[in-house]
Amino acid sequence: MSVDRVREGLSHEPVLRLDSLPVFSLTVNERRPRYWDLQSPFLFEVEPRTTTTRWHDEYLAMTTPTEAKMYGSMLSQSETATIAATSLLFAGAMSLVQAGFSEWRQSRREGKAREASEEVDAALAAWKLANERK
């Protein structure tokens, strides 16, 4: 851009005349950042941890003899399967017992509520009967 062109542009009468200073409006809509939105060297991503790491389990599987493993050589495969099946059946039975117990508690609670409602209805009926005679 040349200085001559700037001088020429300033020598002309302006096309737009403003009698007063312009007013500009600005609205900012922003939510306040939460602490976890801010970048911080102290905020780390949390990773779930198991009780042991996978490489440790693999190392133990490679180095531990079968006699030292749980139910190692002292149980046959059928005995290990029997233990697993028994454990599974016991877990299923316990969940059924727990469900039955919770249903029993619910029915007992509903029975007490029904008895209380019947007692209140009987008392209201007796009160209405006593007030109708007066």
Q: What are the extents of the domains in the chain?
A: 53-134
How far is residue 33's CA from residue 10's CA, in Å, rounded to a whole number?
Answer: 47
Q: Decide if pLDDT at 59 tops 60.
A: yes
Q: pLDDT at position 43, please?
A: 56
How far is residue 10's CA from residue 113's CA, in Å, rounded to a whole number?
Answer: 93
How far is residue 107's CA from residue 114's CA, in Å, rounded to a whole number?
Answer: 10
Q: pLDDT at position 100, please?
A: 93
How far is residue 103's CA from residue 88's CA, in Å, rounded to a whole number?
Answer: 23
* Predicted confidence (pLDDT) per residue in 80-120, tens digit: 788 888 999 999 999 999 999 999 999 999 999 999 999 99
Task: Please give the structure tokens belonging to residue 62.
Answer: 């490679």
Q: Decide if pLDDT at 132 tops 60.
A: yes
pTM: 0.37
Cβ proximity of 110 and 102 under 8 Å:
no
How far is residue 127's CA from residue 133's CA, in Å, rounded to a whole number?
Answer: 10
How far is residue 87's CA from residue 81's CA, in Å, rounded to a whole number?
Answer: 10
Mean pLDDT of 42-52: 61
How far is residue 102's CA from residue 109's CA, in Å, rounded to a whole number?
Answer: 10
The CA dihedral of 87, 88, 90, 95, to the nearest 10 degrees, is 140
